[in-house]
Structure 1
Amino acid sequence: MVECPEPAAVNSDPSEEPALGVPATSTSTSPSGVGSPVPSVNVAQLGKRAAQVGGLAVAAYVMTAVAAGHGVAAADTGMSGDAGNAGSVASSAQRDTTAARDGDATSSSAKDRADAARSERRKSDADSANSREADASASQDANEAEAATDGEFDDASTINTDDGPAEESETDVDPSDQGSSTDPGTDSADMSTGVVDDDPTDTATSAAVGPTDDGSAQESETDVDPSDQGLSTDPGIDSADMSTGVVDDDPTDTVTVPDTETIELQPASAAYVSTVGTASSAAVGPSPASLPHAPLQTAADWTLLGWMRRTFFNRPPTVEYDISLNAQDMSNGVIIGNIGAVDPDGDQLSYKLIAGSPYGTVVIDQLTGDFTFTPTLSFARAGGTTAFTVRVSDNRFHLLSYLFSPDRGSPIARIAVPVVSVADPASSPALEAFEVEKVIEFELPDGVKVTGADLSPDGEQIILEVEVADGSTQIAVTNLDGGDYQCLSCGLVPNATKIKALYDNQRIWFASTNGQQSADDPLGGAGAITYMVLECGTSLHSCGQPTVKKVTFPSDRGLRRLLPTQNREAKPDPYGEYVTWTEVSFFTGPRMSIAKLVPTDGGYELVEQRVFSPQWYEDTNYAVDFANATRFYEGASWNAGGRYLKYQTTSDGLNYDIYLLDTATGERRQLTTDLDYNESGAMSPDGMSMYFSSARGLDRMDVFTALVRPSLLDVVAFPQIGRVSLWNNRRSMNEPWLMNLEAGQQVGGYSGQPIIIDPDWTIRGWSWFPDSTRALINEQQRPDTVTAGAPDTPWRISIISFPSRTATTPLPPVHQDPEAIATWSVPVKDYKPMIGRTETRVLKGTHSGTATLRYSGIFALGTYSVTYKDYSDDGKTFINGTEKVKIKNPMGNSVWSADLTSTGERTGYLTGKINIGKSNEFSGEVSSEINGVTYSGIPTQTDSPVIGQPQLAISSSGDRVQVTATVAEDGQPRPVRGVAVTVGSVTTTTDEQGYAQIALSPGDTITAVAGGFQTASQQVPSL
């Protein structure tokens, strides 16, 4: 039996593991404070005992031994299962004492045997087929050394025979120079049994430390440069093998082992020190004669215990990210850095991106941990700090971490990436002039009026939503001039809206509702919706016998049909092979899904449902990442031939922004970053521009969003606050904007431009022509006064063009790849919603502080709050206080309240309480202020502002004129291309940088005219 010392007497702290080399004398301390020798531990007996006890008993036994500090780590055999090489301290000492017996000649013999053993070990590492031969050689050496040991210590002389106090010496070893094993096949435990010196010029002299004549002990401490240690880099060597001796590979070295008498066997926690490649080397080991001989260990014994250590006591990786090691390319802002992950056992690491950055893309090298962050053009120009989150794993099981660590042995790190603003050789993207080609005059039957329009995929037909004489909404088709009217759905469905023609020009996807959309509905603002496909036998413009087929959703089947669920914003890809939609559950709120659209006998069915937002990692500790589960998501639509999915979600507290998902790569890009509400979107067929609608400049949401914070309550708060801010006191909810996708939007700025044709009308829909130079637009007249809902005013359909653009070829349409989809979505059965739980989570700020999240209830009924304590994501701004939402009944009676303060770089507050009732009614007060600027919103406004056309400005030098304009609230003049510049009878047009070359004379009048802008005139000054 192996007797284990009291666990409290041993320091098992990994930071105090023995250094490489030889144990020094150590004693354990009894409760009375009296030191007593630590009992000897034979690892072979421990391994044999482990094999006998059985699975659970083995685990408990090994756990106890490890905690007590015994040499369990030395039991691992590495890749070859070499018991002889794994060895014990005793076997190393036996070989050394054989050398001492015969003096120099014997030293040469010992050297020969050591060389032979090393040669066999190298062969074993290089070729696993020779491992058994290496084991036999090493075992034979051990047996010879043991046989030669008996009685040989009598001839050895003792060091330190002088009387006097002990002299203490330490050997400091810098592991960075040890040549430690970097091969992934090496278990770090194997590295503790030997040191290999590959330097052929070194001469090592070993000195043993023993008791003096008067009983006093002398300890040697020698400072060692670890760069000379030459530790093995062979992956087949487990670090436990390095703890039992020093091996010198130099064939020219002479090894002298001084005389010794008695050596005490030390526990695994004793300090190990070795000196290799210096003039002298200290070595201390147990005397074989003083210890009972254990039975020869078999490879099976070692393999079992090694497996136990690897399986249950493998140490998890750690992450120490050093931001100072990042390097930035100042030409484009690209950052190269390293995650800083290290595995103490030398296991190969893998990296998984849990959350990317909204301001760029991240690529991680799985072999090195190096990352490359490529910022968007606008973020590179503006500069700032962003972050991404990564999970690091060694793909091993960690028993202790699994039981006691939240990350279960796979640490999660938030990697902050500061980007220094790069020089911008060119100015901001130019604004562009546009013009109305024509307002379409439709030839309609009596009692029919147009309420919306879309283009056919080939750009040759207009697909209309029309209100017919019986008051229902139907699908019709005309040519581009408004003639050849044909109603396609009349008599087939009660209502038809949300129309979208497929690429085959034979099918139209649409929604059929049983009532007017209403913001009172607790599931997101619409009544019951059924989706259908209208099919024509030939083409849409000559559809003789159309048929309508219903689409069955997953929530329509099985037990799920009994649950209150609404399927909103459903849209097919161009080929009609996949459909995306927002599935809103009474219990868990919205989630965006994708599924295959397959035909059935009587219609269509959606199968293989997957969820692509929320995308979140449940075990994260960071609030900004956890917020991926608690944002409000909706509105996915296909763009650029199916290559991209556009969707909307809250990015910061109640701040609603547009994102773009690349369906081939899974990259997600945040397109808008301002404080207000942004939605909709239509990407140009060439992928260069994006139309979207926005409340920027209208200050509808700013009072709620100015204090930037994580979106931890948005999934329940936004539907309530949105009903207040977006449906009340408006002449239009949003204004139309156009963005250059290559440049993107600067953080908090407005890089797009408003598309205002007539201040009395607002654009509500947009369809690009295939060449990306023109668009079909839906305009609705503004009401004379503000309204509490959607205005019932006339519509008009127009075609606008951008004269300064050159016609381009559309991006080719793509068929969706199921394997690619699987990289950015999860099967619905694996999706775990956050809403609907009763849970409290304490989350960390990326920099510091906490956010305590308390959820109680379901999506349509419950209480939710978050309390911030010195919370900071950037180390510059800190948030304190509480925000809370209480939903009292499923029909929308709710209360929002906040008492938040912000200090540091952005100092201010958000405070207030709003009671929200049916029909979008509200009462209460709210106010916010950041850095002295007071923000407003619908609850604080008496009238709604309107965005006007930007004003042109003229400057001239010589015969060169530049025309610029300032976008609302941007404040920075930007060039305008396509402006007609007239001087006298001469007219020219501005280029990409807003310049026009034209002859000027003192006193001439320069006039600049551009569609979408207010005209400007300026006189050339006299000399």
Structure 2
Amino acid sequence: MAILSLVLTAIFWFSIASGKSTPEPPGPERIEIIELPLPPVVGSNATGACTVEVNPHKTGCIGREFIDFQSGDFTPDGDHVVVNLEFIGAPASPDPANIYTGEQLILVKTDGTLFANGDPWKCLTCGVPESNAQSLDPQKDYPHVARSGKKALWGHNIIDCGDFLLASDDCTPANTFIYPIFWPSTLDGSGPGGVPREMRLHPDDVHMGWSSFTPDGGQNTFFGRLEFNPNPLTGAPLAPRYDLVDVNLLENPFGPSILDLNEKGELELHYDAIGVGELRGFSGSGDEILYIGPTHEANNHDIFAVHVTTGKVRRLTSHPEYADPVSFSHDNKWFVVMDTRGSNRQMWMSGMRGIPPLIDIVTVAAAASTRNNHHRRFFQPILIDSEGDRGSYFGQQVNAHGDGSDGSPNDPNWNGRADPAFSYDGTQIVYWQALVTAPACGGVNPLPCPESTAQGGRTYRVMLARLKDREPTVPETIFDIPDFLPWATPFPPGSEFPVQSGLPQGTYTLRGKVSGTANATLIADSTSVIRTVSVEYDDYSDDGEHIINGFESVTGTPDPTNPWLSNLNWTSDLKGTGAVTATKKTGPDGFQLSIDVMLNIFNANGTLTTTIDGAVYEQPANGT
């Protein structure tokens, strides 16, 4: 019956989001998993530790612990994957091998062949002359190969090999150029936009989107166009660079928020509201922006898509577990998402369905953070068709096959990281994983630390999934995206953010779409920020299948020294009837949770337990 509850609720929410009949979901596929090769491991970062005995080709060594490691996506031919890593132990100059040092970008072969250097990898950025790489931005994450195969996004930099493919032998250090990306008045953090992070290149290789944190803990998302500036006269750096121009703030100043007051002074939920919380990329054709948006159900974080011109919003995931990094196939028919589904990591707070997102006003940060325990993550890659979760269909775990033993594809101690990616023909998926390490295991933690089975004992690996039942497909035609999105807000240099008018404190009624009410009391602090949400549910139901009764209250207390720290005092006594029998209850002394968004280390007192038709989901123990 617990499964039936999830099924019925998913059907309901999907029908609301899509406004069309539900297509038949696909069946499971045969998937083969292999590990891709990386440079050899050396145990010391001392100069010269990477000897010819360790690497006879003298093409670099890497360490056991992952530092600045991240795999990206495929080259257009599907035979190579781009990987960011840290080379260590290089010999001193004038040895030619001394170029293999520090954070670099490499290509790794996926087809078992070798580059001309005799290795299954090739460094793209090692040995590039200083004159070809002036004033590089230190941010070098989320690598992405352009559709031309001749350029790559490397954090806040663009790698350009001119007329040559990055994977070709003709792409040498001498003809490789690396240019920083400059966002006028904001890239250095001095402007209102904050420092950009997690940049994603649009499929047209011209536009891009990014998220940005402000010093006070706020987050915004943007969309702009890359424009090459060979001789800048203002700003920094004064070196050849790519400027971000025609910048849009991805916020609709005239649209509703997901939770608003109507003309009667009652609360209303607007599931079609655009709320780009954290940008995660684009659809295969680039016609939609992918993002983590405002919750549609209490504590349930999902992936959404908004059309770049119409502003139509789609909810892609609805499973109660947490979804985050996501990537679409180039034919626009599939996506792969890193998700905690199957781990039960979030079920204790989000498993009870049909609860409207009222307490999320104060719990949203904590609910997003409990998905991890610092170095232990609970993500695994999930393959889902482009219509998203619905009915009994919640996708297919890409790496489900295996016995769960140490080092196996489905070893739970190997945690999925950002970002997965499809090959251009849709027959392969690449993703990377990190092995859980202390303090998320060992020492005072009751969970022991596993021994790495990867080459050299390294704690990171790149995995290739071959979709055995698929025929190659052709990428979808790239959507002709405008520079300024009709529903977004132009954000030229010097712009200020639109003034946001949050809900004022008071007592309000939210009426269920089918039955009942939720009477919510919102209490603000001296700065008019809502810190307490208390809700009384009386036969509340939006779908007629899940009926909510009871009381829930959460108070958030800010830390004046740390805007990323979330402190919650939680009381819950909810009952669900209808399609399932469910409860969500705290213990006699309530439930107190403290978690830092940046560290994700779980610390709590008391208990919060959700039951669904007898299945019990309890919050994790501290530090686990």
Is the structural similarity TM-score above 0.5? yes
Q: Select which of 224, 241, 246 maps to 1:607.
A: 246
SS of residue matched to 1:556: coil
Shift of the 571–633 alpha-carbon distance from structure 1 to 2, 3 Å rule, reads same
Structure 1: stretches of 5+ with no match in the other structure? 1-334, 336-355, 363-372, 379-427, 512-530, 944-1023
Structure 2: stretches of 5+ with no match in the other structure? 1-10, 40-56, 90-100, 233-239, 402-407, 453-457
Shift of the 704–877 alpha-carbon distance from structure 1 to 2, 3 Å rule, reads same
Could you say which residue in structure 1 is the equivalent of 2:531?
864
Could you say which residue in structure 1 is the equivalent of 2:27?
430
Name the aligned partner's letter for residue 720 of structure 1. Answer: A
SS of residue matched to 1:488: coil
Q: Select which of 466, 470, 475 maps to 1:801.
A: 466
Could you say which residue in structure 1 is the equivalent of 2:551?
880
Q: Select which of 317, 320, 325 maps to 1:675.
A: 320
CA distance in 2, matches of 1:898, 1:863: 15
Q: Select which of 508, 512, 529 maps to 1:846.
A: 512
Shift of the 465–931 alpha-carbon distance from structure 1 to 2, 3 Å rule, reads closer
Name the aligned partner's letter for residue 480 of structure 2. Answer: H
CA distance in 2, matches of 1:562, 1:678: 31
Within 5 Å, which residues of 2 pair with 1:396-795?
429-436=26-33, 439-440=36-37, 445-448=59-62, 451-453=69-71, 454-469=73-88, 472-480=102-110, 481=113, 483=115, 484=117, 485-488=122-125, 492=133, 493=136, 494=138, 496-511=140-155, 531-539=156-164, 540-541=166-167, 542-543=171-172, 544-553=174-183, 556=186, 561=190, 565-587=194-216, 589-600=218-229, 601=232, 602-603=240-241, 604-612=243-251, 616-617=256-257, 620=262, 623=267, 625=269, 633-649=277-293, 650-663=295-308, 665-708=310-353, 709-714=355-360, 717-728=363-374, 731-742=376-387, 744-746=388-390, 750-756=394-400, 758=408, 759-760=410-411, 761-764=414-417, 765-781=419-435, 786-787=440-441, 793-795=458-460
CA distance in 1, matches of 2:215, 2:584: 33
Q: Select which of 606, 609, 623 maps to 1:925.
A: 606
How many angstroms does 1:670 deviate by?
Answer: 1.4
How many angstroms does 1:903 deviate by?
Answer: 3.9
Shift of the 751–548 alpha-carbon distance from structure 1 to 2, 3 Å rule, reads closer
CA distance in 1, matches of 2:534, 2:338: 33
Could you say which residue in structure 1 is the equivalent of 2:488?
825
SS of residue matched to 2:400: coil
Aligned length: 503
Name the aligned partner's letter for residue 423 of structure 2. Answer: F
Could you say which residue in structure 1 is the equivalent of 2:560?
889
How many angstroms does 1:702 deviate by?
Answer: 1.4
Name the aligned partner's letter for residue 775 of structure 1. Answer: I
Shift of the 461–432 alpha-carbon distance from structure 1 to 2, 3 Å rule, reads closer
SS of residue matched to 2:465: strand
How many angstroms does 1:655 deviate by?
Answer: 1.0
Larger Rg: 1 or 2?
A: 1
CA distance in 2, matches of 1:796, 1:466: 11
SS of residue matched to 1:727: coil
Q: Is the 8 A contact 1:675 1:748 kept in 2?
A: no
1:490-526 CA-to-partner distances (Å, cap 9, x unmatched) read 6754562211122233332222xxxxxxxxxxxxxxx
1:124-149 CA-to-partner distances (Å, cap 9, x unmatched) read xxxxxxxxxxxxxxxxxxxxxxxxxx
Shift of the 726–780 alpha-carbon distance from structure 1 to 2, 3 Å rule, reads closer
How many angstroms does 1:433 deviate by?
Answer: 1.0
How many angstroms does 1:478 deviate by?
Answer: 4.8
SS of residue matched to 1:660: strand
**With structure 1 as the length reference, what TM-score do the two structures score?**
0.44
How many angstroms does 1:669 deviate by?
Answer: 1.8
Name the aligned partner's letter for residue 578 of structure 1. Answer: H
Within 5 Å, which residues of 2 pair with 1:69-148?
none
Could you say which residue in structure 1 is the equivalent of 2:592?
914
CA distance in 1, matches of 2:390, 2:421: 26
Q: Is the 8 A contact 1:704 1:910 kept in 2?
A: no
How many angstroms does 1:631 deviate by?
Answer: 7.4
CA distance in 2, matches of 1:467, 1:656: 33
1:548-600 CA-to-partner distances (Å, cap 9, x unmatched) read 33333366179x82559343322121233322122333457323322233333
**With structure 2 as the length reference, what TM-score do the two structures score?**
0.69
Q: Is the 8 A contact 2:398 2:465 kept in 1?
A: no
How many angstroms does 1:448 deviate by?
Answer: 3.4
CA distance in 2, matches of 1:551, 1:674: 37
Query: How large is the RMSD of aligned CA atoms in angstroms?
Result: 4.0
Name the aligned partner's letter for residue 552 of structure 2. Answer: G
Shift of the 839–664 alpha-carbon distance from structure 1 to 2, 3 Å rule, reads same
Name the aligned partner's letter for residue 844 of structure 1. Answer: L
CA distance in 1, matches of 2:613, 2:313: 34
CA distance in 2, matches of 1:735, 1:936: 20
1:632-689 CA-to-partner distances (Å, cap 9, x unmatched) read 8214202313233222233322211112333354332212212111111122222222
Q: Kindly indicate which of the two structures has a greater share of residues assigned to helix.
A: 1
